[in-house]
Amino acid sequence: APALDAHRLRADFAVFDEIVDGRPVAYLDSASSTQKPRQVLDRMRHFYEHEYANVHRGVYRLAERATEGYESARRTVAAFVNAPSEREVIFTRSTTEALNLVAYAWGLDNLGPGDVVVVSELEHHANFVPWQYVASRTGASFRHIPIDDAGELQLEALETLAGEGTIKVVATGLISNSLGTINPVERIAAWAHEQGAIMVVDAAQAAPHRAVDVQALGCDFLAFSSHKLCGPSGVGALWGRRDLLEAMSPFNLGGEMIRSVGLDRTTFNELPYKFEAGTPAIAEAVGFGAAVDYVSAVGLEAIERHEHEITVYAMGRLGELGFVRLFGPPVERRAGIISFAVEGVHPHDVAQVLDWEGVAVRAGHHCTQPLMARLGVAATTRASFYLYSLPEEVDRLVDGLHKVKRSLG
Ligand code: PMP
């Protein structure tokens, strides 16, 4: 694949034309949410101006056009993760809602005392709390795959977990949003299936950054969000294996998801509509499809390579700073996310001083409090990259950190 030209791609993002204190923002918070290219915004505007109506209902032509836009986005998203069928792709509000859907709709019916739910110690709360909650509601036990000091999963622990009951669900992320760890999900999925468990994958930090193939991973459910993939917020996707989705109870109930409703009894619609109650985020789904087209045109391999190069550069430069401690795995086994601490300075103060330099990073627990506890910190400062990130932005981060050290350290 041809290399990616980040300078050229930046022309698609109006936010980088904005000059504050003489320079554009060094946006190093794409793990939290990404910026939006004009191709996505233009598509949404066109949809609202020329194709908009509610979906799946109207017989008139405008409603048909709206439904075609929405369903075409579903086909795009399905192909993006190599789903065997577009009917297995459900539009949700987000990764969070997709994972809650599985935890509730699958978990409440399939978990009970003696069963074991397994997550990882570095899970985002979105793939941790719903499982912890549904386990406690059903009497199942809740266990985790521990990590080592570098933030990598200790798969040796799987042996012990297998002795603790009937493993029913294994839920892990492909890439850690706090440390950038790339988890060996294929191996974990194979192990889960040996136990007779289902494998649920949080791909929120993976699908925007590298090729994700649900069939190659061998998982049963996979979730990701549009807003981390150059698309609008308010929409995400859940892919699930058809037999599982068909056997599952609904999650949200109301319009659209029914076949027929009577005073005594309601029957449910076919896939994927059974899981899409109410008016969906229509234009957002269309924008999501346009975002998938955008990143696919840039090329997932090129994106992955570009982010890897920036991460190698950033780890090298940050590694030279004696007052900065880096968390997480070596660069060969991490995606474009770097969490760090500045000696003697609170992460929020680091982020505040960096903001004065026009460098946008995130400080906090990144919705991974069990991981923070394991690392022995309350919070970290985190820089994260995307297809538009530049080495110059890393230089500005490093210059900013020298200022942090001089003024607060
Ligand atoms: N999982 C991971 C790994 C994430 O990084 C995030 C977003 N920070 C989520 C889940 C939740 O995504 P959303 O807020 O879009 O629901």
Q: What is the pLDDT of residues 289-341, one digit of tens each?
A: 999 999 999 999 999 999 999 999 999 999 999 999 999 999 999 999 999 99
Does ipTM exceed 0.90? yes
Taking every pair of C-alpha atoms in the chain, what is the biggest distance, in angstroms?
Answer: 72
For residue 224, report the distance from its CA to the centre of ligand 1, in Å. 8
Quick check: helix, strand or coil at residue 125? helix
Closest C-alpha to ligand 1, atom 5: 177
H/E element holding 62? helix 61-80
Strand 337-342, strand 359-360: pairing: unpaired
For residue 265, report the distance from its CA to the centre of ligand 1, in Å. 36
Answer for the pair 383, 396: CB distance below 8 angstroms, yes or no.
no
Per-residue DSSP letters for 371-387?
Answer: HHHHHT-S-EEEEE--T
Report the pLDDT value the prediction gives residue 167, as an integer from 0 to 100.
98
Report the pLDDT value the prediction gives residue 58, as an integer from 0 to 100.
82
Phi, psi (degrees; rounded to nearest 5) at 266:
-125, 135
For residue 120, report the distance from its CA to the centre of ligand 1, in Å. 15
Quick check: helix, strand or coil at residue 263? coil
- How crowded is residue 261: how many other Cβ atoms within 10 Å of its Cβ? 12
C-beta of 69 in contact with ligand 1 (< 6 A): no
Report the pLDDT value the prediction gives residue 57, as an integer from 0 to 100.
81
- Closest-CA residue to 89 (of 255, 276, 252, 293): 276
pLDDT tens string 153-192: 999 999 999 899 999 999 999 999 999 999 999 999 999 9
Atom of ligand 1 nearest to the CA of 202: 1
Atom of ligand 1 nearest to the CA of 173: 3
pLDDT tens string 341-358: 999 999 999 999 999 999
Decide: residue 397, CB within 10 A, 0-12 exposed, 13-18 middle, 19+ buried. Answer: buried
Q: Determine the Cα–Cα distance for residues 286 and 272; give it in Å rounded to an integer.
A: 16
Closest C-alpha to ligand 1, atom 12: 95
Report the pLDDT value the prediction gives residue 2, as an integer from 0 to 100.
72
C-beta of 172 in contact with ligand 1 (< 6 A): no
For residue 95, report the distance from its CA to the centre of ligand 1, in Å. 6
Say what the pTM is. 0.98
Atom of ligand 1 nearest to the CA of 94: 16
Beta carbons within 8 Å of 399's beta carbon, 6+ residues apart:
357
Q: Determine the Cα–Cα distance for residues 65 and 47; give it in Å rounded to an integer.
A: 9
Report the pLDDT value the prediction gives residue 1, as an integer from 0 to 100.
62
State what percent of residues in the chain have pLDDT above 70.
100
Quick check: helix, strand or coil at residue 133? helix
Pick from 96, 120, 179 the residue to mutate for probing ligand 1's pocket: most ligand atoms within 8 Å of its CB. 96
Q: Determine the Cα–Cα distance for residues 96 and 124; give it in Å rounded to an integer.
A: 10
State what percent of residues in the chain have pLDDT above 90.
98
pLDDT tens string 28-86: 999 999 999 999 999 999 999 999 999 988 899 999 999 999 999 999 999 999 999 99
Report the pLDDT value the prediction gives residue 3, as an integer from 0 to 100.
86
pLDDT tens string 345-404: 999 999 999 999 999 999 999 999 999 999 999 999 999 999 999 999 999 999 999 999
- Using pLDDT thresholds of 50, 70 and 90, give the confidence band for residue 122: very high
For residue 234, report the distance from its CA to the centre of ligand 1, in Å. 12
C-beta of 126 in contact with ligand 1 (< 6 A): yes
Average pLDDT value over all residues in the chain: 97
C-beta of 384 in contact with ligand 1 (< 6 A): no
Residue 232 has pLDDT above 70, yes or no: yes
Report the pLDDT value the prediction gives residue 30, as an integer from 0 to 100.
98
Report the pLDDT value the prediction gives residue 409, as an integer from 0 to 100.
80
C-beta of 173 in contact with ligand 1 (< 6 A): yes
The beta strands (E) that lie in 36-94 are given as 89-92
C-beta of 200 in contact with ligand 1 (< 6 A): no
Query: Six-digit token pair at 317?
Result: 């430069």
Instruction: Provide the annotated active-site residues.
Output: 367
